[in-house]
């Protein structure tokens, strides 16, 4: 496994570990939800996790706790208000009785004195209850403030974690891109250093190139093997996960999914032998026309000399412009023409064409196949 | 053994079509292209259920030679 692959795997593993940790936190958080307040219907763990995201669950948990403390504050404030009212009423009663005492006889005065004493005891008890409620209010408010502070702190921690994680991923990707660029530069420099193989070789422009590339040069062949579009060629081993039932149908090839240049070249060849068939100048876009021209060059050269040496030369020159895989695909376009002649004709929807034209196309495609050496 | 035009899902989670396959010197060689990125091609040989990229110069030369014959 090369360093590039190791870097990518390390990044993926790091992200996976973070996700697993988040899952653990979610599991324990969800387990606590059912214990919170009778106001909220307890939710089963599975149903909750299926409905809400982790972040939503955390927000819900925090909101439940805040609402609980808010309810506690309001409840205790209500109780405290009730106690204050009661105390006020009792105090008024005491004042009234004391007034009566001033104008009463000694016997009634003693009775009133005992009443006042009982009521003042009740007032003291209620004052103690009031103090309890006020203490509970203070505690609940302090808890509420702590929750807000914790939430702010959690948000800061979470944002910091995400920032560090993002930096780590970006760093790993930048490192992977840098290695990819270095490898590509090494390949290009290597190819340019091999005699006769430079894509800037003036001989290439004069069509007097070395038609016998040094296929014994290990660097050349190794670079051919390593070069390709995308990162697929930088891995050495691939496991087959699945063999699909369906097979790749030819019409998909013709629509350009496999051999953009190959199909373009084939279209050009058919158009050349049956002018007007594709109305090439009027219906094709500018990009397609340039593809057709390039495909034409490749198909013509392969048709004129399908030897291995020539194919390698085409690969070398084409790879400097379009990429090795694309050029190989163009060559394989011809292969599919050879092996699937009738279906190639059909996929261009020529069912309504006159039989003569159809036969011309059939002959043309066979001619192309013969020109390809088979 | 895989067959031509088979579609394989490899462990890079991409679908590849078998463009060509042949036996050579006792090895099963498979030439694949990415169905969604046709320019992404692989020159491989079978090793149990694994596809190993061919990068040995001599081996690759024979691979290309055989591919050329089949064109």
Q: What are the chain A neighbours of B19 within 8 Å (beta carbons)?
A: 258, 332
The answer, for B60 touching chain A at a CB cutoff of 8 Å, is yes
Query: Predicted ipTM?
Result: 0.81
Q: What are the chain A neighbours of B57 within 8 Å (beta carbons)?
A: 216-218, 220-222
In sequence order, what DSSP letters do the residues of A262-327 get, joined into one string? HHHHHHHHHHHHSTTSS-HHHHS-HHHHHHHHHHHHHHHHHHH--SHHHHHHHHHHHHTTT-HHHH
User: Parallel, antiparallel, or unpaired: how do β-strands B15-24 and B6-10 relate?
Assistant: antiparallel
Cα distance between residue B19 and residue A325, in whole Å: 12
Supply A94's token pair. Answer: 């005491």
The answer, for A225 touching chain B at a CB cutoff of 8 Å, is yes
pLDDT digits (tens, 9 = 90+) for A192-245: 444 333 333 333 333 333 333 344 444 444 444 444 333 333 467 888 887 765
Nearest-Cα residue of chain A relative to residue B70:
A335
The answer, for B17 touching chain A at a CB cutoff of 8 Å, is yes
* Substitution target from A8, A238, A323, A373 for chain B, most B beta carbons within 10 A: A238
pTM of the model: 0.29
Strand partners, B50: A239, B47
Strand partners, B30: B21, B44
pLDDT digits (tens, 9 = 90+) for A294-340: 666 665 666 566 555 565 566 555 544 444 445 555 555 544 444 44
pLDDT (mean) for A29-58: 46
The answer, for B25 touching chain A at a CB cutoff of 8 Å, is no
The answer, for A259 touching chain B at a CB cutoff of 8 Å, is yes
pLDDT band at A119 (very low <50, low <70, confident <90, very high): very high
Q: How far is B41 from chain A (nearest CA, A)?
A: 6
């Amino acid at each position: 496994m090369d360093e590039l692959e190791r870097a990518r795997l390390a990044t993926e593993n790091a992200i996976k570990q973070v996700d697993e940790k988040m899952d653990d936190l979610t599991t324990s958080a969800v387990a606590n939800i059912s214990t919170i307040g009778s106001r909220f219907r307890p939710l089963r763990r599975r149903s909750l996790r299926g409905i809400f995201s982790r972040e939503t669950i955390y927000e819900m948990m925090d909101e439940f706790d805040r609402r609980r403390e808010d309810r506690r504050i309001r409840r205790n404030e209500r109780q405290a208000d009730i106690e204050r009212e009661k105390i006020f009423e009792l105090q008024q009663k005491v004042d009234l009785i004391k007034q009566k005492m001033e104008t009463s006889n000694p016997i009634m005065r003693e009775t009133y004195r005992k009443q006042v004493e009982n009521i003042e005891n009740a007032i003291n008890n209620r004052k103690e209850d009031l103090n309890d409620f006020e203490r509970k209010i203070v505690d609940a408010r302090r808890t509420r403030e702590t929750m807000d502070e914790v939430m702010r702190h959690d948000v800061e921690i979470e944002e910091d974690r995400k920032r560090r994680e993002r930096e780590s991923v970006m760093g790993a990707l930048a490192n992977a891109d840098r290695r990819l660029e270095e490898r590509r530069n090494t390949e290009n420099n290597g190819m340019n250093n091999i005699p006769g193989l430079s894509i800037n070789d003036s001989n290439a422009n004069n069509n007097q190139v070395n038609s016998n590339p040094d296929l014994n040069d290990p660097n050349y062949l190794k670079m051919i093997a390593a070069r390709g579009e995308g990162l697929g060629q930088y891995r050495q081993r691939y496991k087959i996960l699945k063999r699909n039932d369906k097979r790749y149908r030819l019409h998909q090839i013709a629509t350009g999914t496999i051999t953009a240049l190959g199909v373009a070249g084939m279209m050009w060849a058919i158009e050349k032998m049956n002018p007007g068939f594709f109305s090439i100048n009027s219906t094709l876009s500018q990009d397609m026309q340039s593809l057709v021209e390039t495909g034409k060059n490749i198909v013509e050269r392969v048709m004129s000399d399908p030897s291995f040496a020539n194919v390698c030369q085409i690969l070398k020159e084409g790879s400097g412009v379009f990429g090795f895989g694309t050029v190989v695909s163009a060559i394989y376009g011809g292969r599919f023409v050879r092996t699937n002649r009738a279906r190639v004709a059909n996929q261009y929807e020529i069912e309504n064409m006159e039989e003569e034209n159809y036969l011309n196309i059939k002959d043309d495609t066979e001619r192309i196949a013969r020109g390809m050496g088979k | 053994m895989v067959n031509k035009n088979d579609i394989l899902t490899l462990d890079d989670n991409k679908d590849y079509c078998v463009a060509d396959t042949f036996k050579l010197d006792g090895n099963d060689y498979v030439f694949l292209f990415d169905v969604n990125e046709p320019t992404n091609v692989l020159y491989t040989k079978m090793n149990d259920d694994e596809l190993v990229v061919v990068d040995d110069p001599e081996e690759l030369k024979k691979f290309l030679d055989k591919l050329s014959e089949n064109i």
